[in-house]
């Protein structure tokens, strides 16, 4: 059981504690609160302290909860802040703005309040006097170019000329708010900061380790952005490149990586940068010769041996090369890939699972040349092989976990310079065909779309489709027709591969009519509402135009054609085992 120290405290109690020593660690994100968040915080604290603009309406026993601060004591005894960075930083800026406004005030309440603020911002000596060279907060955020300006502002109250930092903007915002308050309530000026210090409450949660603090934050916080694995990795990179006097180069490279990954990755869990590290991890695992089907969590993998991989001089270069590769894939870059390769990549984007991303990442990092390019012919062969295997395996051995054994084997083969063969996992023709013929190809199953997309590209005249366009699975013999006419003797044929075709979403919406003649007109663009009357880009539809009707017999025949063609494909890729 992890030990926690949880004890709500006023801002004064928390900040003025002699042991208070907050660190915004290097892996945190830069300070990002803008005027909107500052306005909300100011309004909340002001309305609490001066109910209905009436100083005397304040209840001294009332408290206002500002939120939690999740931290842990690091090896240097500092409270490393995991959650609450933005709030903590902003409160320090507010206190500094009040402190500066009190400078020329000589009344008792103003002097006492100023002394309280001193103890919150600066460390004190044995006699309680502030040492204005030692702040109670420090920032090491790797990608925050303005952090030194923030610390200087806290130390001196001096704003740099023409500063554009968010710290300074917010400091000036609070200066204006404080000045407006002073003009409106000149006789009560000291009451507002005093009530903020004594009656606004924070909940500091101190964990025994970084991992515990991160878990707590993820549990408590359902609105903010929890620290990702990549944020932790960024800190290690930052330390490594700082030791090489290349800190600024690293920051620039990291920002570029974040921009690239944010544009191309949409992972179900984690951040886009986490996804990049995951794809890179499989390459590193393969180089280790690791075929274990138990995959370590991302952070656990990279933190091994004191983050050895993140301290390797080639890592950042390889990560960038990998990001640029996937950027080219998502942009369907015709200067980098042939149309044949791009078509195969399109099909794989509709794969039944995401394992191909990792396989392709390993292949790219192993086989790229000095310009980051691949041999187009060999890459096309690789893509064809993994498509055939992954699509078939999803039927014969459903579930991504089952795929790990053959795929991890091939990853190791790739880094050893061998061709991908899946030789130990070839399919028995009769058994595999039986699986396919008895499989229920409902639209809810990813593999249904996979096979129909693959089949669309078996027609030589099929042009490359745009990855940004949305495609649906269309029932050629519509569900509505079956409901009204009941024309299919075996209702299972309604959801067979033979009754499905890839179709643009915009056309599919209009093609739900159960009359086949009307469907053909919609497919061809001859009967469409609105300005857009283009025909579908799916070229197999030209074949459908030749049918007078499309019923159960046509479904059965087309289903057989699809399966025959797929098994011919498996055979051509040497994925069918010879019969004993």
pLDDT above 70: residue 545: yes
- The beta strands (E) that lie in 44-115 are given as 64-73, 79-83
Please tell me the predicted confidence (pLDDT) of residue 337.
97
Separation CA 313–CA 316 (nearest Å): 7
319 vs 276, 282, 322, 512, CA distance in Å? 7, 12, 5, 46
Contact 65, 203 (CB under 8 A): yes
Q: 3-class SS at 478?
A: coil
Distance from CA of residue 287 to its chain's centroid? Answer: 26
Work out the pLDDT band at 1, boundaries 50, 70, 90.
Answer: very low
Task: Please state the separation of Cα 249 from the chain's center in Å.
Answer: 24
Residue 224: what pLDDT? 46
Distances (CA, A) of 154 to 101, 135, 202, 538: 14, 8, 21, 64
For residue 3, pLDDT over 60 is answered with: yes
pLDDT tens digits for 145-178?
899 999 999 999 998 888 899 999 999 999 999 9
What average pLDDT does the segment 86-106 reach?
Answer: 92
Q: Which pLDDT belongs to residue 222?
A: 44
The pLDDT of residue 2 is above 80: no
Is residue 522 within 8 Å of 528, Cβ to Cβ? yes
Residue (of 202, 172, 165) closest to 84 by Cα position = 202
Confidence of residue 220 (pLDDT cuts 50, 70, 90): low
| Mean pLDDT, rounded, for 51-74 | 89
For the chain, percent of residues with pLDDT exceeding 90:
63
In this predicted model, what pLDDT tens digit does every residue of 475-497 receive, in sequence order? 998 888 877 777 788 888 988 99
Exposure class string for 462-497: b at 16+ Cβ within 10 A, else e: beebeeeeebbbbbbbbeebbeeeeebeeeebbbbb
Share of the chain above pLDDT 70, in %: 94
pLDDT (tens digit per residue) in 428-474: 999 999 999 999 999 999 999 999 999 999 999 999 999 999 999 98
CA distance 494 to 549: 15
Confidence tier at 518 by pLDDT (50, 70, 90): confident
Annotate 221-264 with DSSP letters as a single string: -SSS-PPPHHHHHHHHHHHHHHHTT-HHHHHHHHHHHHHHHHHH
Q: Is the pLDDT of residue 345 over 90?
A: yes
Does pLDDT of 511 surpass 60?
Answer: no
Q: Which pLDDT score, from 0 to 100, does residue 514 have?
A: 61
pLDDT band of residue 521 (cuts 50, 70, 90) is confident
How far apart CA 524 and CA 534 sit, in angstroms, is 7
Nearest to 148 by CA among 135, 132, 162: 135
Quote the pLDDT of residue 498. 95
Per-residue confidence band for 533, with pLDDT thresholds at 50, 70 and 90: low
Say which DSSP state 160 is in: P
Task: Determine contact, residues 540/476, Cβ cutoff 8 Å.
Answer: no
- Position 326 scores a pLDDT of 98
CB 351 within 8 A of CB 391: yes
CA distances from 308 to 248, 300, 311, 349, 559 (A): 22, 12, 5, 33, 52
Instruction: List the beta bridge partners of residue 427.
Output: 576
At 435 the three-state DSSP class reads: helix
User: What per-residue confidence (pLDDT) applies to 578?
Assistant: 77
The answer to whether residues 192 and 49 touch, using CB atoms and an 8 Å cutoff, is: yes
Question: Is residue 118 over pLDDT 60?
Answer: yes
pLDDT, tens digit (0-9, with 9 covering 90-100), for 368-416: 999 999 999 999 999 999 999 999 999 999 887 899 999 999 999 999 9
Model pLDDT, residue 141: 87
Q: Counting beta carbons within 10 angstroms of the beta carbon of residue 514, is it exposed (0 to 12), middle (13 to 18) or buried (19 or more)?
A: middle
Cβ density class 97-130: b for 16+ within 10 Å, e for less: bbbbbbeeeeeeebeebbebbbbbbbbeeeeeeb
Longest Cα–Cα distance of the chain, Å, equals 101
Cα 420 to Cα 549: distance, rounded to the nearest angstrom: 44
For residue 13, the model assigns a pLDDT of 95
Q: Which has more confidence, 520 or 257?
A: 257
pLDDT digit string (tens) for 225-238?
556 889 888 878 88
Query: Rounded distance, CA 334 to CA 202, Å?
Result: 55
Q: For residue 423, what pLDDT band results from cuts at 50, 70 and 90?
A: very high
Q: Which of 14-23, 44-53, 476-485 has the lowest mean pLDDT?
A: 476-485
With a CB cutoff of 8 Å and minimum separation 6, the contacts of 442 are: 448, 495
Mean pLDDT of 541-553: 88
DSSP 304-330: HHHHTGGGSTTHHHHHHHHHHHHHHHH
């Amino acid at each position: 059981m992890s030990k926690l120290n949880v004890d709500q405290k006023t801002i004064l109690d928390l900040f003025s504690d002699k042991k208070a020593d907050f660190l915004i660690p290097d892996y945190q994100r830069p300070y990002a609160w803008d005027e909107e968040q500052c306005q909300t915080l100011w309004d909340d604290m002001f309305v609490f302290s001066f109910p209905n603009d009436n100083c005397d309406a304040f209840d001294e026993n009332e408290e206002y909860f500002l939120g939690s601060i999740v931290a842990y004591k690091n090896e240097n005894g500092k409270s490393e802040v995991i959650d609450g960075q933005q709030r903590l930083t902003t409160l320090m800026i507010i206190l500094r703005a009040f402190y500066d406004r009190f400078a020329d005030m000589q009344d008792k309440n103003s002097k006492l309040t100023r002394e309280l603020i001193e103890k919150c911002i600066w460390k004190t000596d044995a006699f309680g006097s502030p040492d204005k060279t030692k702040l109670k907060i420090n920032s090491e955020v790797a990608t925050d170019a303005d952090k030194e300006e923030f610390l200087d502002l806290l130390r001196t109250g001096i704003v740099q000329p023409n500063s554009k930092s968010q710290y300074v903007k917010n400091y000036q915002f609070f200066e204006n708010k404080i000045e407006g308050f002073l003009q409106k309530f000149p006789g009560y000026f000291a009451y507002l900061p005093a009530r903020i210090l004594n009656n606004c409450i924070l909940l500091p949660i101190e964990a025994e380790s970084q991992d515990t603090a991160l878990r707590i934050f993820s549990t408590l916080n359902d609105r903010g952005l929890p620290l990702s694995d990549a944020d932790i990795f960024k800190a290690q990179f930052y330390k490594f490149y700082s030791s090489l006097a290349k800190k600024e180069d690293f920051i620039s490279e990291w920002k570029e990586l974040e921009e690239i990954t944010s544009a191309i990755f949409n992972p179900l869990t984690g951040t886009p940068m986490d996804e990049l590290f995951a794809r890179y991890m499989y390459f590193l695992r393969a180089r280790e010769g690791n075929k274990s089907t138990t995959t370590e969590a991302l952070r656990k993998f990279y933190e091994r041996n004191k983050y050895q991989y993140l301290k390797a001089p080639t890592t950042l270069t390889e990560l960038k090369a990998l990001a640029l590769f996937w950027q080219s894939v998502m942009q369907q870059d015709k200067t980098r890939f042939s149309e044949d390769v791009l078509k195969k990549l399109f099909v794989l984007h509709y794969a039944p699972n995401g394992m191909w991303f990792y396989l392709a990442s390993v292949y790219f990092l192993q086989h790229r040349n000095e310009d980051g390019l691949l041999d187009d012919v060999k890459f096309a062969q690789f893509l064809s092989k993994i498509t055939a295997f992954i699509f078939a395996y999803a039927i014969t051995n459903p579930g991504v976990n089952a795929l790990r054994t053959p795929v991890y084997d091939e990853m190791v083969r790739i880094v050893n310079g061998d061709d991908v063969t899946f030789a130990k996992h070839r399919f028995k023709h009769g058994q595999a065909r039986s699986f396919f013929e008895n499989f229920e190809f409902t639209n809810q199953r990813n593999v249904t779309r996979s096979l129909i997309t693959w089949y669309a590209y078996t027609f030589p005249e099929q042009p490359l489709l745009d990855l940004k366009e949305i495609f649906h699975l269309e029932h050629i013999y519509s569900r509505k027709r079956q409901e009204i006419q009941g024309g299919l003797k075996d209702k299972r044929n309604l959801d067979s591969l033979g009754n499905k075709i890839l179709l643009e979403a915009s056309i599919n919406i209009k093609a739900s009519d159960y009359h086949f003649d009307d469907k053909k007109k919609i497919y061809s663009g001859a009967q469409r509402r609105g300005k857009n009357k283009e025909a579908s880009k799916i070229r197999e539809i030209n074949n459908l135009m030749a049918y007078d009707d499309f019923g159960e017999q046509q479904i059965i025949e087309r289903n057989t054609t699809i399966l025959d063609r797929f098994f011919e494909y498996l055979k051509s890729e040497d994925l069918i085992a010879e019969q004993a």
